[in-house]
Structures are given as structure tokens and as C-alpha cells.
Amino acid sequence: MSIPLPQVNLAGVSVGTTGTISFANTGIGAGGVSANPANIKNAGTVHIFNESGSGLLINFQTSGDGFYLPAGGWTDKAIRAGEAGMKWTVLYNLPSPPVTLLLVTYYGPGEAIPYVPTLGNSPIGIGGTISVASGQTFQLATPFVIFNGSTNINSGTTTNITCTGVGGIPTGATFVWVAIYGTGSAAGTFGTLVPQGATWSVANYPLVGTAAVINHIISGVFAVPLNTTNGQITVGAQNGNWLNITGQIFAYII
């Protein structure tokens, strides 16, 4: 059956504000849909309705999948089995929106998703001058190498990587897109990418990837918020050593 998830009121949020919506009560985590062989490849769909004046960046917390959702926009997204939830980040705000809610509904595998109603009070239809609070834009960059294939990080340790002011990434960048891969020393090894100095948690930041049982390869492409003081991210290894790391930054938001 469909499950309305907790509403998020985006009234008064500033650019850069983040938050999370948990999928815990949908039953798609361990012991739920992910434990049912019939649903391994189909954990259902979330219907995301951004009835607010805030443009958002959405990232799923476990898979790391992400996309942009404009003010007044809506979309349906299939999710992977075991998905923990979604993180939202405010990229811009429209002036004086009449409504300010982010509404998410979970629909189980095979469940019919209803047609979306006409957005009669959508903030996208407001009059007046529309301003972007921060002037943030997405920029592709000449790939900037942060690991050259010979870097190792021991289990339980981290290293800080400077991302801005080098490789053409300006010091005012707030997010970077990182493509990174390496080899785990054992099955179950995974890496982490967080803002410099932050503590990793699956509720807030994505895993780089869990090592496969056979070849132990870990990889991923992720948007990582930058430390605003020194433009760094922290890269770490957990549950095993992360070896022969190769990585580059190929896009950023400023």
C-alpha cells in the first residue's frame, strides 16, 4: 500500500540548508522488501512532490543516486532495495511562495501510482521578479585528479583532500562531483566521502561502494559538499583497507 512519508516544511529555509527523509517505515530495509527475493530488483517507487519555492538537489542515502528537483516540480523515482532514505539540499529560493511543503509518498512494487493533479497553487506560477538567492550554477570542469591509482587508506583512517583553488575548481565552490574507485582488502570493505572534518554516517553521507565478494572492487560517483573554510573533503576507509585508489573531480557547484 502507499505510505505518505513525513512532510518537510521549507518555509524560511536558506540556500545550502539540508535535511533527510527516512524510508524506515516503508519496510524496504533489512528484513523488508530487500529480504524478499521477488523484490530484489524492485523496491518500489517514491513520488516526490516539491510544492515549494525551493529548488532542491536530492540524493538517496544508500545508493548515492541524485538529481535536481526544481521549485514546483514533481517526479517518480524507482528506488533500490535496502534504500535508507533521501537527503535534500536547497539550491535556490523563489520569492514569497504561497506554499512551502516537500511531500513524498512511497508506493510498493507493482502498486499503481496515481496521476499527478494540476498544480493550481504551485509556486512556479507566482508573479513578480524571480531571484536566485545564491546564484549557484553547475559547472563541468577539466577532470582534476585527487588520487592517481597508487594511494592507499588503512581501515579506520582518513585523509583530507584539497579540492578548491587547484585544478580549475574555484575557492567559492560549495559541492564537487567525484568519480572514484579502488580495491578493498576484503569483502565488505567500503570507502567514505564527507565534508572535511565531518563524521561519516549513512544518514547524511553516501558510501563510496561496498566491495564485491569476488574482486573487492569499490567505486562510485557522488556529489560531496565542501568544507567552506578550506575547500576540502575527507576520504576514509572502513571495514578494511582501501587500496590503489583512483579518483577525480569532474564538476562543481558555485
Q: Which CATH architecture has domain 138-253?
A: Sandwich (2.60)
Task: For the beta carbon of residue 251, count every other beta carbon within 10 angstroms.
Answer: 18
State the Cα–Cα distance between residues 190 and 182, nearest whole angstrom. Answer: 10
Lowest mean pLDDT among 34-38, 100-104, 141-145, 162-166: 34-38
State the Cα–Cα distance between residues 172 and 197, nearest whole angstrom. Answer: 18
Q: Domain 3-115 classified CATH 2.60.120? A: yes
Helix or strand holding residue 58 (H, E): strand 54-60
Domain spans, the chain:
3-115, 138-253
Q: Contact 56/93 with Cβ under 8 angstroms?
A: no
Phi-psi region of 38 (alpha: psi -120 to 50; beta: other; left: phi over 0): alpha
Full-model pTM: 0.48
pLDDT in tens, 205-235: 656 655 555 566 767 777 788 887 788 888 8
pLDDT in tens, 167-203: 778 888 888 888 888 888 887 777 788 888 777 665 5
Same CATH topology for 3-115 and 138-253? yes
